[in-house]
């Protein structure tokens, strides 16, 4: 939509939303949120950007095809599940590494990678849907 | 409370199904959306309703009851799935309308044209 | 430079939503903000404007006051029976020139009493404003010039 | 009157008022008359929902709902944008406008 | 006993299949001469089977086998007794001659290799059928004979008549096969036995069992279709579309006797009842008469032979039904005799066709001098067919007259009429050699040896088997008759009758009236032809009518159950949903509706009411935008409901999804010039509403009855307990999604990913097509 | 928590609800779309904003306060944009202001060519 | 530039995202522990005594249960990631499915040797997490699915153009196999629903992959009706959870065994309805003949082979094994519907002119036969249904492929077009006959054995329902024989009309030959399938081994 006001605001709202989506993703394990919701928010951000500047601009902005992003997410999630193979545990078993760095417990786990995979899948696919609809004129 | 929600769920179902029974693509899709919401509410209610604390540990100190998290997770999965399917059907409807030139599903007879009589020779 | 400024703003926003202004969190917010900005990098070049933080704060305060005034105004209009309104769509001649300034002005106009931005002319010289009760359009133009446009100019061109 | 009691009463009032607002918005959606009116009403509905969420957070004491409000604030306008686009698109396809019976002029 | 392990035959009997698969290759290399090589297989088998003769003559019954499907109690097993051995010898012996004959006959034809393959496949199937001990093995080979017959009849595939005949044979014998399957399985179920030998060991188990009538009728149906009994006979004359070797082998000597074989095989278990006697005698007699009457009406040599084959099969069935020792001995003798003379005659007919280019008896003539060797074969075979001494056909007729005469008068009359006409037809079959020739398409010469070898051998065997009747009886006939009778038969059979006993009188009458009839043959033939034309209907036409009827009915039914109208599809589905929701409580009791918790706070009502309002507005809205906006309302309210009951994640997701739904709806609707007006006429809308309300109310009812049940919260308690301790997450819903039930989520993102690419494909592929 | 905050929360709630109601009444009562938009974009925004502030006051924890304010700010960022787009779209396709509108500068614009969108 | 460095920085932090969470974690650790303590006290005793995590080591064999799902899933993602390498797609799919088939072979071997095996996803003690639990039935079907999937790849090359590859054919295909394998091996009813959706969405994608109008038309009906079916299934799952509080199949089996709560009968009815619809049983079969003939041949073939079977399988697993007595109420109905489906499906085939539609109706007819076996509810009936399922997967895939192959060789797509393949391409024609006769249940092909088992199973049961079952099987078999015979005569035997394009010399695709080999092999050596099927049926009727494997002694 070719309006000055919208075009001026849209990129910043998009950036803000992506930021918010990452926040929602990362803290989802402890508060409402997670990969799905984060992904949906990020996809909304991309949709807004797309509506303002067109599909081509979005494609340039995200480097890779959104469907590929979704594929990456799925592979990530699946590989996160396979990680437990090396720990002698069943598929999709959560593995936690909890180092304490300067008094702060850092939870590192394949579960987080899994959730990030979810996030990518949702972002990629929903964005792909919105973009392909947007450009289907 | 469950009685009221059960009635609401019933109305959702009835509305969604009534729309899906129309032969028009747009109405069918609207029906699908409502139908999906009805299902989610049904599962939600079936997992029992409590006006309760959200199932977030550490946020519910002192709460008498914590909401049942499992149906929530199931519904979350179902919502995302049905959204995906809904999106696909929506685009499919759009494409079908463009290509088949009708939104009346009863007039979509390309895949199932009136059946020719099968041959009787050998 | 402007990009870093926006990045810092985003970092602050991150701290706000995560609820922690600890250094490490601000740093993390900065990185994530940078990541978000890479998405919209194509639009960043036109943003070399925000110069003055204090101007912004002052603008924000003005704005909040105007928002409350405008809401009360709406309440009065809506709740008082028999009041005759004289709406108008006014062409507001813009002094500010850059898209960011115009946008900010337009949004502020929308949120403040009796006015609503509708469109910007193709040459970015005129803002079309709907006024809910404008017996005298010039008064409204002068009002906007006085309250917001000047402040915006001061924020962007110190 | 203790503060808690006052707050409880205030919240009841708040919820009732918000519910009334919902109803009024729905009436506007039913009445229309134009697409834009209805989109405006939906936009407001989401705004009211944000308020409702805030009030609910207060009444239950669970502040985590505020995040939903953040999300709604950000994405709520996405639907308005999309619908505004939809409104605009109808201009280019004026030959077979809505046959809604509500009158072409009213329903633009 | 044979000088080799008996169970060698398990594999040896499969040799024809192996030969079948090398046949195309061999024919490709050797041309029509491959027949001589391939004939080695049946010849070898003949020899191997012949090794069993002494033992069988001595009354030994040999069974051997291996497990095939042990879990189903199915074995691949053989039973060598008089019945199976006689059949096996006929199949391999005549088979040898036929393979040789086919090599000569098919010289120059297309697809010779394929033909040989089918023929050998058939041979293997037929052999497997007759020597099968296991009931299911028997069925498998029985069906294989139908399949191979189908392939062989349709061999001349360019002719519609051949294609029709093939399908007809498949339908009729295939249908009978299904009856056989049911009958055999019923035998297994009733008796607990899985083998023929097992059944023979307890002959009364079926007869006294609960399902005797059903079993008997099913077996009869199978046999009647396979052996071309009235009214299923018409496929057999039509099967003459097949090349002559096929007619000779399958449709006279062997396959068509599979039905008779089955009747004989189970005669000890199923026979000796009124049902058995009446049905077999009745259908067999009717077939016998129909066959000869229709046979005498024909002018095509092969057709004449075909109808007399039908008649002979009728006679065999009738004799099996009569079931006395003499009748059974007569049946056995006649079966052997018929295989010999009819097989030969078919080959003769083929040779004549091959040399003259026609098979029309009204045209053929004067071949006596041109084809002397063929004549000798034909002459000997016709004498046997006519039942004249000293041929095996004569012995058979004497014994069967003896059998029917001592049993009842009706079969006697039938036999007399039938044999008389058979005699006349045998005379007619010799006319091509004696009559004045008409205009023949080709000028005939003696056929090559491959074409006359078979008939000569068979005819001569027909002669010698009578001349050495004692050996024939002891080696072949009596062991088989014993097997059929289920015990030693008490007969006294000689080539030359001792005195003027009733059978001899009947023979004299037969010959006398047969000769007399031959002199008025032309008028009789035309008279029958006229009569049949006047009737104008026969089972063959009936077959067409049945198939047309079935196809037409299928067409109408399919139009009804799959009409192409999606509205109907959806309606039926939801009607089914309504029934699924209402019938169980109607029959199983409604839940009581007490104790479903407290009422909600009033502000909950507003949310619910507006959600409902949203649905209603969607339904009544006349424009799509109102509908979409109202959908947004409804979805938003659902999100609020989730929030009210402690589900922030759900509420969050629902808001997002709702927004995105509205966005994509708007994006699509932008391009879709459609309104949401309900086009349904009022009555239709009322019906739909009734279905919808029934479903909705049904779901409410189910939900209410679910919430009555005390809830088992174990799972959620577990999640709440361990989410933080072990899974290190406080948001239990998210922990469920990414840990407790991560597999769901993995599947779910697969769905999301799939939707993304599917939608892209939907949109892009269109762009390409329309460009 | 001190009663003061409870009272303040209650009052803010009611104020917020009041403005929300004003907005709702406004969109029902005012004459044309553009006038209704005034009600929605101002009173609606403020109403919900005040409710968020009430939440911040009530919660008192810094993270909640910050998030509530963030929500308000984000909402302020987006609300005028959607109002602008909707008004512009409506006008572009020919939604005329009500008869009381005594001045229409957009109509006077020489060329009202449809903008590409 | 600066933003590149920020990305690198972000990646570094990405691995330690805990920073944000750290503060909260530290500050709330004490409170969290207290909450845990409180929660633990409210937990019923039963839970408290259970170890939350399985303490036994995960045997390597358990991975055999998970890999037939996980490998194709991973493959689907990888093919999508590498979508810009179109030439690598087919080899990738081949490798992935080859590995899948290998693991499936191993899985079957292990299950046949040692009984059901289970893998608890996430190591959570069942019934709390999701389990993959594979018994003989599951292993057999996973094996056949994986094999058919692998074989199908061989044909896909012929059928899927560059366009199809570009728009995700192989991703959809792998996802489909993943979904079907998932459905066959999961031990959790909600997870079963998820796998239903996985193969549903991939079937949507496959169905429209040609972009033709007829595909769109078919897809609309396929899409909407299948959506209804899976949604009804979801409702039933949700209702089951509401009524019993559990989702694990083994747990449900125990819970439902002595539970006569009022709604269970209704829930069972919904399951029956949903699965009957997925299986395309009359009168809910509409979607199948409306759509199966429209997509590319390989797609039709895989659909015909696999999709309906999941409905049949679920009917066995859920209604027979889990619902027991509540499910038994519906068994006569299932037989009746089965008979109608079998006969009407065959009649539908007889009424067709188009060969692919004809084959689609034959799929429906076969479903009826399986339902008869299920409805009998006896060991033998279920054995027959399972064997028929395997047979049907092989033969229906093959039938569609050979029809597609024949259509490629000479235009003979309908009964009105003589293809003349009998004289020109005898081998191809013979393959048609193999699949056709096997469909009709004639020996010595795979279709004979289940028909035999089912007739015997019906006759072994007292009562008129059983007689009906026999009639259904026999009449449908009879009509199917007519259908095949007519198609053979009209399309294959009849020479091509003058002026028709010459018959192609293209070799018959190996996939078809291999499938025909299976069809004949299964006819000659039935024990390979019959024995696992017997075990599978026994497991359905007496699932104690399954339940013990999943739940241990709990
Ligand atoms: Na929705
Ligand atoms: Na999930």
Identify the pLDDT of residue G2.
Answer: 38
Confidence category of residue E593, pLDDT binned at 50, 70, 90: low
Q: What is the pLDDT of residue E597?
A: 55
Q: Provide the strand spans (E) within B21-122.
A: none
CB < 8 Å from E in window 17-56 of A? 28-37, 40-41, 43-44, 47
Sign of the dihedral defined by the CA atoms of residues E220, E223, E226, E232, in that order? negative
Whether C35 has its CB under 8 Å from any CB of chain G: the answer is yes
- The rounded distance, in Å, linking the Cα atoms of D88 and G228 is 35
- Rounded Cα distance between E547 and E541, Å, is 10
Q: In D, which residues are within 8 Å of F78 by CB distance?
A: 73-74, 76-77
- Using one digit for the tens of pLDDT, what is the confidence trace for G336-395? 999 999 999 999 999 999 999 999 999 999 999 999 999 999 999 999 999 999 999 999
Tell if the CB–CB gap between D98 and E623 is shorter than 8 Å.
yes
Mutating which of G36, G195, G213, G482 best tests the B interface, going by the most B Cβ atoms within 10 A? G213
- DSSP state letter for G412: -
- The Å distance, Cα A36 to ligand 2 centre, comes to 8
pLDDT of residue G20: 38
Give the pLDDT confidence score for residue G258 in this predicted structure.
Answer: 79
Residue with tokens 């099967």: E239
CA-closest candidate to residue E338, choices E368, E371, E372, E310:
E310
In A18-120, beta strands by DSSP E: 96-97, 100-101, 104-105, 108-109
pLDDT above 90 (res E246): yes
Distance of CA G208 to the CA centre of its chain: 20
**Å from CA of B36 to ligand 1 middle:** 7
Work out whether the CA dihedral F46, F49, F53, F59 comes out positive or negative: positive
Looking at residue C51, its pLDDT comes to 47
Cβ atoms of G284 and G292 within 8 Å: the answer is no
Burial of F114 (0-12, 13-18, 19+ CB in 10 A): exposed
In this prediction, residue D96 has a pLDDT band, given cuts at 50, 70 and 90, of: very low
Annotate D11-30 with b (16+ C-beta within 10 A) or e (fewer). beebbebbbbbbebbbebbb
Please report the pLDDT score of residue G22 as a whole number: 36
Q: How confident is the model at residue E598 (pLDDT cuts 50, 70, 90)?
A: low
Q: How far is the CA of E651 from the centre of ligand 2 (A)?
A: 15
Average pLDDT over residues D41-51: 91
Q: Average pLDDT in the E20-31 region?
A: 92
Task: Please tell me the predicted confidence (pLDDT) of residue E191.
Answer: 94
Contact C131, C115 (CB under 8 A): yes
Distance separating alpha carbons of residues G169 and G162, to the nearest angstrom: 10
Which of A8, A19, A53 lies at the smallest CB-CB distance from C99?
Answer: A8
Residue G56's nearest CA partner among G123, G107, G110, G130 is G123
Confidence band for E768, pLDDT divided at 50, 70 and 90: low
A38 and A24 Cβ atoms separated by less than 8 Å: yes
* Backbone φ and ψ of C97, nearest 5°: -125, -30
G6–C35: do the CB atoms touch at under 8 Å?
A: yes
Q: Which range (B33-42, C15-24, D55-64, E275-284) has the least confidence?
A: C15-24
Instruction: Check CB contact of C90 with chain F, cutoff 8 Å.
Output: yes
State the average pLDDT over residues G73-96. Answer: 95
Average pLDDT, stretch B9-25? 94
Q: Do D64 and B53 touch (CB under 8 A)?
A: no
- Is A81's pLDDT higher than 70? yes
- Check whether E32 has a pLDDT greater than 90: no
Residue G295 CA to chain centroid, in angstroms?
18
DSSP string, E522-561: HHHHHHHHHHHHHH---HHHHHHHHHHHHHHHHHHHHHHH
| Residues belonging to chain E | 771
Least confident of B101-115, G33-47, G475-489: G33-47
- Could you tell me the pLDDT band of residue G411, with boundaries at 50, 70 and 90? confident
**Residue E291 distance to chain G (closest CA, Å):** 27
CB pairs under 8 A between A and B: 14
Phi/psi region, residue E108 (left: phi>0; alpha: psi -120 to 50; beta: rest), is left
Q: Residue C157: what pLDDT?
A: 67
Distance CA E644, CA E648 (A): 9
In chain C, residues with a C-beta closer than 8 Å to the C-beta of G19 are: 24-25, 28
pLDDT at residue G413 above 60?
A: yes
Alpha-carbon span E165 to E171, nearest angstrom: 10
pLDDT in tens, G517-532: 999 999 999 999 999 9
E402 or E32, higher pLDDT: E402
Nearest ligand to residue G191 Cα: 2
Lookup: tokens for G473: 């099987």
Shortest distance between the Cα of G296 and any Cα of chain B, in A, equals 14
Which residues have CB under 8 Å from C117's CB, separation 6+?
A5, C106, C107, C109, C110, C127, C128, C129, C130, F80, F83, F84, F87
Q: Is G85 strand, coil or helix?
A: coil
- Strand residue runs (E) in E158-263: none
Q: Look at residue G33 in the predicted model and tell me its pLDDT.
A: 41
Given this model, what pLDDT does residue F101 score? 83
Extract the runs of DSSP E, i.e. beta strands, from G371-497: none
Token output for E543? 């077959």
Q: What is the C-alpha separation between F16 and F22, in angstroms, rounded?
A: 10
CB contact under 8 A, G7 and C35: yes
Is G100 part of the contact surface with chain B (CB cutoff 8 Å)? no
In this complex, the chains that touch E, judged by 3 or more CB pairs closer than 8 A, are A, B, D, G
Residue G19 has pLDDT above 60, yes or no: no
F9-35: burial string, b at 16+ Cβ within 10 Å, e else: bbbbbbbbbbbbbbbbbbbbbbebbbb
pLDDT tens digits, one per residue of C82-138:
778 888 898 999 888 888 888 888 888 888 778 889 988 888 888 999 988 888 888
How do residues E141-182 score in pLDDT, each as one tens digit? 999 999 999 999 999 999 999 999 999 999 999 999 999 999
Q: Say if residues B46 and G242 touch (Cβ distance below 8 Å).
A: yes
Q: How confident is the model at residue C6 (pLDDT cuts 50, 70, 90)?
A: confident
Q: Is D64 on the interface with A (CB under 8 A)?
A: yes
Confidence category of residue C55, pLDDT binned at 50, 70, 90? low
For residue A106, the chain G residues in CB contact (below 8 A) are 16, 18-19, 22
G186 to chain B, any CB pair closer than 8 A? The answer is no
pLDDT score at G43: 41
Chains A, E: CB pairs < 8 Å: 143
E70 backbone dihedrals φ, ψ, rounded to 5°: -60, -35
Inter-chain residue contact D52 with E677, CB threshold 8 Å: no
Q: In the structure, how many helices (H) and strands (E) does chain C have? A: 6, 3
- CA E605: distance to chain centroid? 67
In percent, the amount of chain A with pLDDT more than 70 equals: 94
Picking from D26-30, E136-140, E767-771, G478-482, which range would have the lowest pLDDT averaged per residue?
E767-771
Q: What is the pLDDT of residue C110?
A: 86
Arithmetic mean of pLDDT, E414-424: 95
Six-digit token string for E422: 């058979």
Sorted by sequence, the CB contacts under 8 Å of residue A56 that are 6+ apart come out as none
Percent of chain G with pLDDT over 90: 79
Summarize pLDDT for E181-235 with one digit per residue, the tens. Answer: 999 999 999 999 999 999 999 999 999 999 999 999 999 999 999 999 999 999 9
Contact E143, E135 (CB under 8 A): no
Smallest Cβ distance to F20: which of D6, D18, D87?
A: D18
* Residue C104, pLDDT score: 85
Residue B65 near chain G (CB below 8 Å) = no
| Chain G residues touching E753 at Cβ < 8 A | 76-77, 80, 171, 175
How far is it, in rounded angstroms, from Cα E141 to Cα E78? 12
Residue with the bigger pLDDT between G14 and G72: it is G72
Phi, psi of G442 (to 5 degrees): -85, 140
Mean pLDDT value of segment F61-70: 80
Cβ proximity of G79 and G170 under 8 Å: yes
Given a contact cutoff of 8 angstroms between Cβ atoms, the answer to whether F44 and F38 are in contact is no
> Which of B100, B111, B122 is the mutation pick for testing G, counting most G CBs within 10 A?
B111
Residue E658 to residue B80: CA distance in whole angstroms? 11
- Asked whether the beta carbons of residue B59 and residue D60 sit closer than 8 angstroms, the reply is no
Minimal CA separation from F62 to chain D, in Å: 11
Cα dihedral G193, G194, G195, G199 in deg (nearest 10): 100
Confidence at residue C109, expressed as pLDDT on a 0 to 100 scale = 87
d(CA B64, nearest CA chain D) in Å: 12
Task: Provide the pLDDT for residue F110.
Answer: 47
Q: How many CB pairs under 8 A join B and G?
A: 127
Positive or negative, the CA dihedral E674, E679, E684, E688 is: positive
Residue of A nearest to C46 (CA): A8
| Of G368 and C72, the one with more pLDDT | G368
pLDDT confidence tier of residue E670, bands split at 50, 70 and 90: confident
Quote the percentage of chain B above a pLDDT of 90.
55
SS3 E76: strand
d(CA A34, CA A38): 6
Residues D83 and E666: beta-carbon distance below 8 Å = yes
Are E373 and E452 contacting, i.e. CB atoms less than 8 angstroms apart? yes
Q: Over the Cα atoms of chain A, what is R_g?
A: 17
The string of pLDDT tens digits covering residues E520-566 is 999 999 999 999 999 988 899 999 999 999 999 999 999 999 998 99
Chain D residue with minimal CA distance to E662?
D79
- Half-sphere exposure of residue G288, counting CA atoms within 13 Å on the CB side? 35
Of the listed ligands, the closest to the CA of B73 is 2
Residue of C nearest to G16 (CA): C28
> What percentage of chain E has pLDDT greater than the value 70?
98
What rounded mean pLDDT belongs to chain G? 89
Q: Which is more confident, C47 or B51? A: B51
Chains in contact with D, where contact means 3 or more Cβ–Cβ distances below 8 Å, are: A, B, E, F
d(CA D37, CA D29): 7
pLDDT at C143 over 90: no
F91 touches chain C (CB under 8 A): yes
User: How much distance in Å is there from the Cα of D71 to the middle of ligand 2?
Assistant: 20
Question: From CA G99, how far away is CA C118, in angstroms rounded?
Answer: 62
Kindly state the helix (H) or strand (E) to which residue C119 belongs, with its residue range: strand C115-120
Residues in chain D: 108
pLDDT band at C158 (very low <50, low <70, confident <90, very high): low
Does the pLDDT at position C11 exceed 90? no
Q: Mutation target for E interface from G164, G351, G444: give the one with most E CBs within 10 A.
A: G351
């Amino acid at each position: 939509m070719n309006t000055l006001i919208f075009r001026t605001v849209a990129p910043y709202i998009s950036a803000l939303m992506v930021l918010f989506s990452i926040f929602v993703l990362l803290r989802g394990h402890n508060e409402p949120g997670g990969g799905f919701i984060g992904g949906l928010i990020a996809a909304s951000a991309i949709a807004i950007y797309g509506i303002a500047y067109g599909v081509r601009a979005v494609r340039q902005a995200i480097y890779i095809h959104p469907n590929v992003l979704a594929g990456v997410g799925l592979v990530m999630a699946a590989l996160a599940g396979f990680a437990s193979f090396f720990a002698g545990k069943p598929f999709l078993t959560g593995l936690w590494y909890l180092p304490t760095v300067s008094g702060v417990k850092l939870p590192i786990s394949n579960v987080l990678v899994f959730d990030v995979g979810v996030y990518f899948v949702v972002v990629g696919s929903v964005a792909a849907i919105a973009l392909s609809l947007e450009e289907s004129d | 409370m469950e009685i009221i929600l059960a009635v609401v769920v019933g109305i959702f179902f009835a509305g969604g199904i009534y729309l899906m029974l129309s032969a028009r693509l747009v109405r069918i899709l609207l029906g699908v959306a409502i139908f999906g919401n009805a299902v989610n509410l049904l599962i939600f209610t079936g997992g029992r309703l409590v006006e309760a604390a959200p199932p977030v540990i550490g946020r519910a100190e002192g709460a008498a009851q914590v909401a049942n998290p499992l149906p929530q997770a199931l519904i979350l999965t179902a919502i995302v799935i049905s959204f995906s399917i809904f999106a696909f059907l929506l685009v499919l409807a759009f494409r079908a309308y463009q290509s088949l030139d009708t939104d009346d599903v009863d007039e979509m007879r390309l895949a199932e044209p009136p059946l020719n009589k099968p041959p009787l020779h050998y | 430079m402007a990009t870093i400024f926006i990045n810092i703003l985003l970092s602050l926003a991150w701290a706000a939503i995560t609820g922690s202004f600890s250094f490490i969190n601000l740093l993390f917010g900065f990185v994530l903000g940078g990541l978000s900005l890479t998405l919209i990098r194509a639009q960043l070049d036109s943003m070399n404007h925000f110069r003055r933080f204090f101007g912004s704060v002052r603008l924000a305060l003005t704005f909040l006051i105007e928002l409350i005034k405008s809401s009360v105004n709406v309440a009065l209009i809506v709740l008082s029976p028999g009041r005759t309104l004289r709406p108008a769509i006014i062409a507001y001649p813009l002094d500010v020139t850059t898209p960011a300034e115009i946008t900010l002005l337009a949004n502020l106009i929308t949120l403040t009493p009796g006015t609503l931005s509708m469109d910007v002319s193709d040459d970015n010289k005129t803002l079309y404003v709907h006024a809910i009760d404008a017996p005298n359009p010039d008064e409204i133009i002068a009002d906007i010039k006085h309250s917001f446009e000047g402040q915006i100019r001061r924020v962007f061109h110190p | 009157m203790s503060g808690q009691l006052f707050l409880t009463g205030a919240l009841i009032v708040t919820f009732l008022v918000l519910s009334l607002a919902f109803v009024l918005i729905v009436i506007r959606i039913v009445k229309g008359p134009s697409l834009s009116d209805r989109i405006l009403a939906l936009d407001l509905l989401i705004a009211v929902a944000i308020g409702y969420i805030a009030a609910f957070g207060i009444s239950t004491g669970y502040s985590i709902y505020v995040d939903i409000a953040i999300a709604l604030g950000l994405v709520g306008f996405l639907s308005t944008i999309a619908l505004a686009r939809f409104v605009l698109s109808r201009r280019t396809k004026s030959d077979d406008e809505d046959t809604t019976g509500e009158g072409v002029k009213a329903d633009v | 006993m044979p000088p080799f392990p008996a169970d060698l035959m398990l594999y040896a009997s499969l040799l024809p299949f192996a030969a079948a698969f090398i046949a195309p290759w061999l024919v490709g290399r050797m041309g029509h001469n491959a027949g001589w090589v391939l004939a080695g297989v049946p010849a070898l088998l003949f020899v191997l089977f012949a090794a069993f003769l002494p033992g069988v003559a001595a009354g030994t019954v040999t069974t051997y086998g291996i497990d095939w499907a042990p879990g189903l109690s199915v074995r691949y097993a053989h039973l060598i007794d008089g019945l199976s051995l006689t059949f096996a010898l006929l199949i391999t012996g005549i088979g040898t001659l036929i393979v040789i004959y086919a090599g000569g006959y098919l010289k120059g034809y297309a697809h010779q290799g394929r033909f040989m393959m089918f023929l050998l496949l058939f041979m293997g199937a037929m052999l497997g059928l007759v020597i099968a001990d296991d009931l299911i093995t028997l069925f498998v080979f029985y069906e294989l004979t139908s399949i191979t017959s189908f392939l062989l009849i349709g061999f001349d595939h360019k002719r519609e008549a051949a294609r029709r005949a093939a399908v007809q044979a498949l339908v009729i014998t295939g249908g009978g096969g299904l009856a056989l399957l049911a009958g055999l399985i019923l035998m297994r179920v009733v008796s607990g036995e899985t083998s023929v030998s097992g059944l023979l060991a307890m002959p009364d188990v079926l007869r006294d069992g609960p399902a005797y009538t059903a079993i008997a009728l099913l077996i009869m149906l199978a046999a009647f279709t396979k052996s071309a009994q009235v009214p299923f006979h018409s496929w057999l004359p039509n099967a003459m579309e097949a090349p002559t070797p096929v007619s000779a082998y399958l449709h006279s000597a062997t396959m068509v006797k599979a039905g008779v074989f089955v009747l004989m095989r189970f005669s000890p278990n199923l026979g000796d009842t009124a049902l058995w006697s009446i049905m077999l005698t009745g259908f067999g007699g009717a077939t016998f008469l129909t066959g000869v009457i229709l046979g005498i009406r024909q002018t095509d040599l092969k057709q004449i032979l075909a109808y007399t084959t039908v008649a002979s099969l009728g006679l065999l069935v009738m004799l099996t039904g009569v079931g006395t020792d003499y009748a059974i001995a007569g049946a056995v003798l006649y079966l052997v005799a018929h295989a010999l003379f009819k097989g030969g005659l078919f080959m003769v007919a083929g040779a004549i066709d091959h040399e003259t280019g026609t098979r029309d008896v009204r045209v053929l003539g004067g071949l006596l001098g041109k084809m002397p060797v063929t004549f000798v074969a034909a002459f000997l075979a016709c004498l046997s067919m006519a039942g004249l001494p000293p041929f095996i056909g004569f012995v058979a007729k004497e014994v069967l007259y003896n059998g029917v005469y001592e049993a009842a008068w009706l079969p006697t009359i039938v036999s007399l009429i039938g044999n008389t006409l058979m005699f006349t037809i045998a005379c007619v079959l010799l006319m091509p050699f004696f009559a004045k020739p008409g205009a023949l398409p080709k000028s005939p010469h003696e056929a090559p040896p491959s074409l006359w070898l078979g008939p000569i051998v068979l005819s001569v065997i027909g002669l010698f088997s009578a001349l050495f009747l004692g050996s024939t009886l002891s080696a072949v006939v009596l062991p088989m008759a014993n097997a059929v009778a289920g015990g030693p038969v008490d007969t006294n059979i000689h080539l030359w009758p001792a005195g003027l006993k009733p059978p001899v009188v009947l023979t004299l009458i037969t010959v006398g009236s047969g000769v007399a009839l031959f002199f008025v043959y032309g008028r009789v033939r035309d008279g029958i032809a006229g009569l049949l034309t006047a009737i104008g209907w026969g089972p063959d036409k009936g077959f067409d009518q049945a198939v047309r009827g079935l196809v037409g009915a299928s067409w109408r039914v399919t139009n009804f159950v799959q009409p192409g109208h999606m509205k109907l599809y959806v309606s039926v589905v939801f009607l089914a949903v309504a029934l699924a929701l209402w019938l169980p409580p109607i029959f199983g009791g409604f839940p009581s509706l007490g104790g479903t918790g407290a009422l909600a706070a009033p502000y909950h009502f507003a949310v619910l009411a507006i959600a409902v309002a949203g649905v209603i507005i969607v339904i009544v809205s006349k424009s799509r935008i109102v509908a979409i906006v109202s959908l947004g309302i409804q979805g938003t309210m659902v999100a609020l409901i989730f929030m009210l009951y402690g589900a922030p994640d759900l509420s969050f997701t629902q808001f997002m999804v709702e927004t995105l739904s509205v966005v994509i709806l708007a994006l699509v609707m932008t391009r879709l010039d459609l309104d949401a007006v309900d086009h349904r006429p009022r009555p239709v809308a009322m019906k739909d509403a009734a279905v919808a309300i029934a479903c909705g109310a049904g779901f409410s009812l189910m939900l209410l009855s679910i919430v009555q049940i005390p809830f088992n919260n174990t799972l959620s308690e577990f999640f709440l307990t361990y989410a933080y301790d072990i899974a290190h997450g406080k948001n239990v819903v998210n922990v469920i999604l990414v840990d407790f039930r991560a597999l769901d989520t993995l599947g779910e993102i697969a769905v999301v990913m799939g939707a993304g690419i599917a939608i892209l494909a939907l949109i892009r592929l269109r762009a390409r097509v329309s460009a | 928590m001190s009663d003061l905050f409870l009272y303040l929360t209650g009052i803010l709630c009611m104020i917020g609800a009041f403005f929300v109601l004003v907005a709702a009444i406004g969109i029902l009562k005012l004459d044309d779309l553009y006038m209704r938009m005034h009600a929605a974009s101002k009173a609606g925004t403020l109403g919900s904003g005040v409710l968020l502030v009430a939440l911040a006051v009530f919660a008192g924890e810094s993270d909640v306060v910050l998030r509530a304010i963030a929500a308000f700010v984000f909402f302020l960022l987006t609300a005028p944009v959607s109002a602008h787009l909707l008004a512009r779209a409506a006008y572009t396709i020919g939604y005329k202001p009500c008869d009381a509108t005594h001045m229409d500068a957009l109509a006077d614009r020489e060329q009202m060519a449809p903008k590409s969108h | 530039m600066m933003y590149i460095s920020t990305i690198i920085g972000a990646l570094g932090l990405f691995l330690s995202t805990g920073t944000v969470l750290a503060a909260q974690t530290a500050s709330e650790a004490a409170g969290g522990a207290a909450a845990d303590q409180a929660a633990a006290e409210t937990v019923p005793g039963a839970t408290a005594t259970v170890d939350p995590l399985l303490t036994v080591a995960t045997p390597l064999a358990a991975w055999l249960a998970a890999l037939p799902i996980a490998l194709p899933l991973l493959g689907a993602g990888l093919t999508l990631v590498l979508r810009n390498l179109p030439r690598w797609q087919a080899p990738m799919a081949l490798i992935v499915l080859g590995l899948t088939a290998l693991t499936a072979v191993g899985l079957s071997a292990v299950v046949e040797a040692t009984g059901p095996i289970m893998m608890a996803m996430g190591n959570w003690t069942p019934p709390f997490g999701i389990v993959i639990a594979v018994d003989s039935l599951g292993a057999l079907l996973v094996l056949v699915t994986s094999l058919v999937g692998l074989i199908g790849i061989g044909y896909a090359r012929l059928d899927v153009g560059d366009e199809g590859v570009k728009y995700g054919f192989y991703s959809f295909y792998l996802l489909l196999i993943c979904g079907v394998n998932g459905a066959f091996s999961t031990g959790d009813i909600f997870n079963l629903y998820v796998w239903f959706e996985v193969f549903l969405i991939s079937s949507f994608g496959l169905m429209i992959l040609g972009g033709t109008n007829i595909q769109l038309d078919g897809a609309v009906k396929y899409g909407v009706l299948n959506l209804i079916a899976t949604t009804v299934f979801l409702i039933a799952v949700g209702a089951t959870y509401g009524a019993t509080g559990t989702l694990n199949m083994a747990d449900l089996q125990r819970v439902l065994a002595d539970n006569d709560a009022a709604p269970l009968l209704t829930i069972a009815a919904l399951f029956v309805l949903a699965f009957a619809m997925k299986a395309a049983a009359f009168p809910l079969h509409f979607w199948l003949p409306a759509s199966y003939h429209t997509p590319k041949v390989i797609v039709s073939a895989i659909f015909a082979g696999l999709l309906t079977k999941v409905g049949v399988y679920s009917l066995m697993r859920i209604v027979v094994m889990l619902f027991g007595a509540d499910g038994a109420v519906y068994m006569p109905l299932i037989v009746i519907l089965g008979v109608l489906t079998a006969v009407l499906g065959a009649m539908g085939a007889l009424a067709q002119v188009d060969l692919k539609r004809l084959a689609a109706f034959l799929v429906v007819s076969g479903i009826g036969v399986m339902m008869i076996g299920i409805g009998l509810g006896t060991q033998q009936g279920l054995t027959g249904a399972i064997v028929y399922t395997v047979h049907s997967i092989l033969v229906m895939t093959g039938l569609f492929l050979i029809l597609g192959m024949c259509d490629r060789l000479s235009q003979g797509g309908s009964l009105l077009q003589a293809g003349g393949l009998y004289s020109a391409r005898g081998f191809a024609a013979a393959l048609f006959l193999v699949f056709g006769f096997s469909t009709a249940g004639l020996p010595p092909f795979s279709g004979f054995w289940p028909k035999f088992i089912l007739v015997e199973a019906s006759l072994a049961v007292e009562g008129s329902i059983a007689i009906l079952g026999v009639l259904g099987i026999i009449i449908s078999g009879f009509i199917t024989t007519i259908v095949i015979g007519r198609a053979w005569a009209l399309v294959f035997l009849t020479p091509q009309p003058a002026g028709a394009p010459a018959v192609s010399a293209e070799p018959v695709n190996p996939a078809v030959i291999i499938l025909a080999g299976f069809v004949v092999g299964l006819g000659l050596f039935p024990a390979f399938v019959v024995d696992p099927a017997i075990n599978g049926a026994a497991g359905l009727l007496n699932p104690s081994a399954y339940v013990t494997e999943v739940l241990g002694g709990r």
